[in-house]
Amino acid sequence: MSWLLLLLGFAVLVVGGELLVRGATALSGRMGIPPMVVGLTVVAIGSSMPELAVGIDAVFRDSPGLVTGNIVGTNIVNLLLILGLTAVLHPVLISRQMLRLDLPVVAGVAVLLFVLSLGGSLARPAGMVLVVVGVVYTWLILRHTRRVRGREPVPEASGASDQEATLPLPDVGDSLPADTAASRRGQLLRDIGYLVGGIVLVIIGADRLVTGAVEIATELGVSDTLIGLTIVAVGTSAPELVTAMVATVRGQASMAIGNLIGSSVYNIVFILGLTVLVAPSAVPVPDEVLYVDMLVMTGVSALVVAMCRSGHRITRREGGVLVLLYVAYLAYLVIART
* Residue 293 pLDDT grade (very low, low, confident, very high; cuts 50, 70, 90): very high
Looking at residue 150, what is its pLDDT? Answer: 61
Q: How many CB atoms lie under 10 A from the CB of residue 208?
A: 20
Closest CA relative to residue 56, chosen from 69, 46, 66: 66
Is pLDDT at 294 greater than 70 in this prediction? yes
Looking at residue 104, what is its pLDDT? Answer: 94
309-333 pLDDT per residue, tens? 888 889 999 999 999 999 999 999 9
Mean pLDDT of 228-252: 76
Please state the separation of Cα 69 from the chain's center in Å. Answer: 15
Looking at residue 248, what is its pLDDT? Answer: 75
111-151 pLDDT per residue, tens? 999 999 999 999 999 999 999 999 999 898 878 767 765 66
Q: Answer left, alpha or beta for residue 86, where phi above 0 means left and psi between -120 and 50 means alpha.
A: alpha
* Residue 38 pLDDT grade (very low, low, confident, very high; cuts 50, 70, 90): low
49-81 pLDDT per residue, tens? 777 878 888 888 788 788 899 999 999 999 999
Looking at residue 72, what is its pLDDT? Answer: 96
Mean pLDDT of 194-203: 79
Q: How far is the C-alpha of 299 from the C-alpha of 178, rounded, in Å?
A: 58
Sequence-distant (≥ 6) Cβ neighbours of residue 119 within 8 angstroms = none
Which range is most confident: 18-27, 86-95, 147-156?
86-95
Sequence-distant (≥ 6) Cβ neighbours of residue 299 within 8 angstroms = none
Sequence-distant (≥ 6) Cβ neighbours of residue 46 within 8 angstroms = 17, 20, 21, 24, 25, 239
The answer to whether 47 and 238 have CB atoms below 8 angstroms apart is no
pTM, full prediction: 0.78
Looking at residue 51, what is its pLDDT? Answer: 79
Closest CA relative to residue 243, chosen from 46, 74, 99: 46
The amino acid sitting at 189 is L
- Helical axes 253-266 vs 103-116, angle rounded to 10°: 20
Q: How far is the C-alpha of 73 from the C-alpha of 163, rounded, in Å?
A: 40
Q: How far is the C-alpha of 206 from the C-alpha of 30, rounded, in Å?
A: 29
How high is the mean pLDDT of the chain? Answer: 81
The answer to whether 18 and 235 have CB atoms below 8 angstroms apart is no
Closest CA relative to residue 265, chosen from 144, 135, 142, 134: 134
Q: How far is the C-alpha of 231 from the C-alpha of 338, rounded, in Å?
A: 14
Percent pLDDT > 70 in the chain is: 80
Structural domains of the chain in order of their starting residue, each with its CATH number? 2-151+181-336 (1.20.1420.30)
